[in-house]
Amino acid sequence: MQKPLLSLILLFMVVSGAGYAQGDYYSKKEAKKYYIGFSWGVGKSWWASHMDNAELYNINGGVLTSGDLKISANNPDYNYNFSVCFPVGLSRLGAGVSFERYSMDRLKVTSLSDTSAAINAPNSYVLFTENFWFNKIYAMYQRPFNFSIGKPCELDFVFAAGFYGFNGLRHLNFFGDNNMAKTLFCNVSLILDYEFIENFRLFVQPMAEYKFFRNNAQESPCIIVHNILNLTFNVGLRADIGKLKF
């Protein structure tokens, strides 16, 4: 696992514990909610990638195409999320983890160098059947809209950013050979919830997310960059654990 990912896991535990202890001091009564949330979602992703001085392999280790490549793709995905947050004034700070499963069937080679032109032509498709997971950990900021604070229905703006790892990939070199790559992401979303039982809220969460990947510089002259735009729609449940009686 990447060192930044381990660091963020530690931050997740520290922020969660410290936030729960300090939230009463900073928060205002009408927005004082200590949420723990679970959700599931489906979405679609669009890839814009380039691989310089690289080879793209099939699952048996054979070369599909090589050289300087520009690649695009789109695929469905689904995700599972867990998060916690605590109040700071009218806002909330928190952290979470998310697990996303991607299913791919082909890649489109939009541009390639002369070294690979004999294998694939530009704007051709390459069979690329994959199922793998992105495992994310993130810090989160939530801000409820003023008109909804204290109401049975609440609308929140949410921003999150963090790191991710991946597992289950069968094609060699698609994410490079060194696990110390740059893997960053950020997203914005809206949470619309409804308190159907006291202190328990069902919610929907449309989200737009950007992921960035770049392989480690030690792999030079091979350069692999992925830019991934992801749109998802999540449904979930969150509970105000600050008001629950155990």
Residue 245 counted as domain residue: no
Residue 23 counted as domain residue: yes
Residue 83 counted as domain residue: yes
Residue 22 counted as domain residue: yes
Alpha-carbon gap, residue 76 to 73, rounded angstroms: 11
pLDDT in tens, 208-234: 999 999 988 887 788 889 999 999 999
Residue 246 counted as domain residue: no
Evaluate whether 66 touches 52 at the Cβ level (below 8 Å).
no
Which domain range does residue 55 map to? 3-240
Nearest to residue 233, comparing CAs of 37, 79, 36, 38?
79
**Domain containing residue 140: CATH number:** 2.40.160.20
Q: At residue 160, what are phi and psi to the nearest 5 degrees?
A: -140, 150
For residue 246, give both structure tokens. 């155990």
The count of domains in the chain is 1
Residue bearing tokens 């480690």: 216
Mean pLDDT of 193-212: 96
pLDDT at residue 1, as a whole number? 42
pLDDT at residue 21, as a whole number? 46
The DSSP output letter for 24 is: H
Residue 191 counted as domain residue: yes
Nearest to residue 171, comparing CAs of 222, 121, 132?
132
pLDDT in tens, 153-183: 999 999 999 999 888 877 667 887 766 789 9
CA of 152: how far to CAs of 30, 132, 206, 242, in Å?
A: 12, 39, 20, 17
pLDDT in tens, 78-135: 999 999 999 988 899 999 999 999 998 888 887 666 444 444 555 677 787 888 899 9
pTM: 0.82
pLDDT in tens, 69-82: 888 999 999 999 99
Residue 131 counted as domain residue: yes
pLDDT at residue 24, as a whole number? 45
Strand-pairing partners, residue 165, are: 135
Reported confidence tier of residue 22, pLDDT bands at 50, 70, 90: very low
Residue with more model confidence, 123 or 238: 238
pLDDT in tens, 23-77: 444 445 666 889 999 999 999 999 999 888 877 766 666 666 666 888 899 999 9
pLDDT at residue 242, as a whole number? 80
Residue 65 counted as domain residue: yes
Cβ of 129: how many Cβ atoms within 10 Å?
12
On the question of a cis peptide bond just before residue 76, with omega within 30 degrees of 0, the verdict is no
pLDDT in tens, 128-152: 788 889 999 999 999 999 998 888 9
Residue bearing tokens 């280790």: 61
